[in-house]
Amino acid sequence: MCGIVGYTGNRKVIPVLLEGLRRLEYRGYDSAGLVYQYQDALVKFRAAGKLVHLEQTVDEHIGEEAYTGLGHTRWATHGAPTQDNAHPHSDCTGELVVVHNGIIENYGKLKQGLVADGHRFSSETDTEVLAHLIEKYLKDDLVTAVRKALARVEGSYALGVMWLKDPGRLVAARNQSPLVMGVDTDACYLASDIPALLPYTKKVIFLDDHELAVLEKGVYTIMGVESGQEISKEIKTIHWNAAMAEKAGYKHFMLKEIYEQPQAILNTVSGRIIPDTGKIDLPEIGLSDEDINKIERIALVACGTSWHAALVAKYWIEKWAGIPVDVDIASEFRYRRLLLHNRVLTVSISQSGETADTLAGIRLAASLGSRVVTICNVVGSTMTREADGVIYTHAGPEIGVASTKAFTSQLSALFLFTLYLGQVRQTIEQDMLKELGTALIDVAALIDTTLPVMQEQIREMIEEYYDAKDFLFIGRGLNFPIALEGALKLKEISYIHAEGYAAGELKHGPIALIDKDMPVMALVPQDSVYQKTISNVEEIRARQGRLLLIGTLGDEHLIKLTDDVLYLPRVHEELNPLLYTIPAQLLSYEIANRRGCDVDQPRNLAKSVTVE
């Protein structure tokens, strides 16, 4: 949460900072600010609300001959999203500025001491203590002062610091919040996430916890925060390009990302299913066949949409690989007694690879002796660096806060993982392996051809539903997690209260909610639990619920139950979750769009949740 950018080089800095902030705005959009060094002063602009307000404020300065600066887009934790609380924050002299992502947990105590020493605060943020703390230790060396300040800080931070008396230099440091440097021959960049760097450089260095970097024009030094010892770091090359993080003519990133799903699935599968044999190849998984044969249990850990992917995977892994699976929400996992050991494999699922709770979960699992594999979309993210093995989803950058293509790519990766386990443990026959692998590839093609028709039909259907106050989603078996996912999507971008239920669970309470005003989207493919789900649909119908059915093409029965039926092509039953997710995503998108909601930047949310 919160996005940091920094630049020092030969380009004019304001456009670089604004472009970086635009590309990081998905991380937080309560307020934004920037600072740059101009002649013999630091010039600071801050604005409450979205980035556009900052852009308007800075507009007439855009071409200023300034070449070093920092920017920030905020997701408020401490203090309301006002201009005064927007970053950058300054020390008492105004000559030192800080941008920060994370939470300084002991800020109250530190602030008390600083106030007693005579420091004057002008915001309610935890971040401002960093500026004053560094000021307290600052004599003539900024790096030393930052290191001394950080020695007293508890909590998480990715930060950028600038000092007027040290022109052309930025100091950055990281602990538990992501920070990546971009390097070039004549410049250095700083960012919370890769999209901010894509227009300028593909060469990046991921900072690790307790590391501090000094950035100058094309030169940098990295050292340990505590030790001050220089550290040599690998420069990585990023294979995404700048256009991948643009809207490409779509009204919203979310819609573009919904349409990118067939390609994202194929990219995730590519090279991992050997066409002739159906053999699965996952070389980066970091586990030998012997390791896999020894697994007694798998613990899947994730948050939000990624947790829904884990719930689907439990059905798959238990059925096809015969391994018991626990699924946990990471914020619960990390605070309960975990019965983990070296024969339990922990698998984290995360688009960003930076989600604080999931990261803490895998650290805990590793400390208990469990091997850790991560399924992740962002190359080089913290989870991928800490796990023993990685299965990358190749969805490309996901910018919309509502996760779409990351989810179906996660499902694809988890399906491959299931097949791989079955292959190694010989619980899946060779023919079946091939059939299932082919079915996964086929579903991508079917989504591709049916997506525009689905969108058209759903756009018409939602005229009846877009002003609903509540919404239910139901499904059974593999489609139960998809009902949860549909409800989450609708809540987060349209602000309609929505719940997902296992269809068979309705009669244990939620059916009391059903009346003529309650819309229910029911996922009823002709699968092995079809008749059971239809019975649940009948129970809703008997109570006059407004049914919206998603079912299999050719199922004439559905149209007798309601006027609102969306037919999808028949796919292999195991792959229904990938296909049935699409109408749920489109329903949420069309409703949110119809209601005039801010689809890509829904209120109170941020894309990457790097605080607890």
Q: Which residues are catalytic?
A: 2, 607
Stretch that binds ligand M6R, among 67-75, 237-245, 301-309, 455-463 (CB under 6 A): 301-309
Closest to ligand M6R by CB, 19 or 260: 260
Q: With CA atoms as reference, report the closest residue to 177 among 386, 34, 359.
A: 359
Options 37, 73, 267, 306; binder of ligand M6R; rule CB under 6 A? 306
Q: How far apart are the first and last CA of the chain?
A: 11
Distance of CA 339 to the CA centre of its chain: 28
Work out whether 360 is an interface residue with ligand M6R (CB under 6 A): no
Closest to ligand M6R by CB, 292 or 488: 488
SS3 content of the chain, % helix, strand, coil (to 5): 40, 25, 35
Q: Residue 88, preceding bond cis, omega within 30 degrees?
A: yes
**290 three-class SS:** helix
Residues 364-403 as x/- pattern, contact with ligand M6R by CB under 6 A? -------------------------------------xxx
Stretch that binds ligand M6R, among 29-37, 177-185, 239-247, 304-312 (CB under 6 A): 304-312
Closest to ligand M6R by CB, 392 or 530: 392
Rounded least distance, CB 355 to ligand M6R, Å: 3
Q: Taking CB under 6 A as the criterion, which residues in 468-497 touch ligand M6R?
A: 488, 492
Residues 430-469 as x/- pattern, contact with ligand M6R by CB under 6 A? ----------------------------------------
Rounded least distance, CB 403 to ligand M6R, Å: 4
Strand-pair category, 157-163 with 170-175:
antiparallel
Q: Contact 366/372 with Cβ under 8 angstroms?
A: yes
Closest to ligand M6R by CB, 317 or 399: 399
Q: Please tell me the distance from the alpha carbon of residue 160 to that of residue 141, in angstroms, as a whole number.
A: 16
Q: Would you say how long the chain is, in residues? A: 612
Q: Contact 307/347 with Cβ under 8 angstroms?
A: no
Rounded least distance, CB 422 to ligand M6R, Å: 25
Per residue, the 3-state secondary structure of 577-593, as one string, reads HHHHHHHHHHHHHHHHH
Work out whether 70 is an interface residue with ligand M6R (CB under 6 A): no
Closest to ligand M6R by CB, 308 or 434: 308
Q: Please tell me the distance from the alpha carbon of residue 422 to that of residue 413, in angstroms, as a whole number.
A: 14
Number of H helices, E strands in the chain: 18, 24
Options 305, 536, 601, 610; binder of ligand M6R; rule CB under 6 A? 305
Closest to ligand M6R by CB, 9 or 304: 304
Q: What DSSP string describes 531-596?
A: HHHHHHHHHHHHTT-EEEEEEETT-HHHHHH-SEEEEE----GGGHHHHHHHHHHHHHHHHHHHTT
Work out whether 2 is an interface residue with ligand M6R (CB under 6 A): no
Q: Contact 272/282 with Cβ under 8 angstroms?
A: yes
Work out whether 610 is an interface residue with ligand M6R (CB under 6 A): no
Options 261, 268, 346, 350; binder of ligand M6R; rule CB under 6 A? 350
Closest to ligand M6R by CB, 89 or 405: 405
- Binding residues for ligand M6R, total number by CB under 6 A: 16
Q: Please tell me the distance from the alpha carbon of residue 174 to that of residue 100, in angstroms, as a whole number.
A: 10
Options 263, 355, 384, 479; binder of ligand M6R; rule CB under 6 A? 355
Strand-pair category, 344-350 with 371-376:
parallel
Work out whether 76 is an interface residue with ligand M6R (CB under 6 A): no
Options 160, 195, 304, 583; binder of ligand M6R; rule CB under 6 A? 304
Rounded least distance, CB 608 to ligand M6R, Å: 6
* Residue sitting closest to ligand M6R (CB): 304
Work out whether 176 is an interface residue with ligand M6R (CB under 6 A): no
Q: Which residue has the tokens 């307290």?
A: 136
Q: Please tell me the distance from the alpha carbon of residue 570 to that of residue 572, in angstroms, as a whole number.
A: 7
Work out whether 303 is an interface residue with ligand M6R (CB under 6 A): yes
Q: Contact 478/308 with Cβ under 8 angstroms?
A: no
Contact positions vs ligand M6R (CB under 6 A)? 303-306, 350-352, 355, 358, 401-403, 488, 492, 608-609
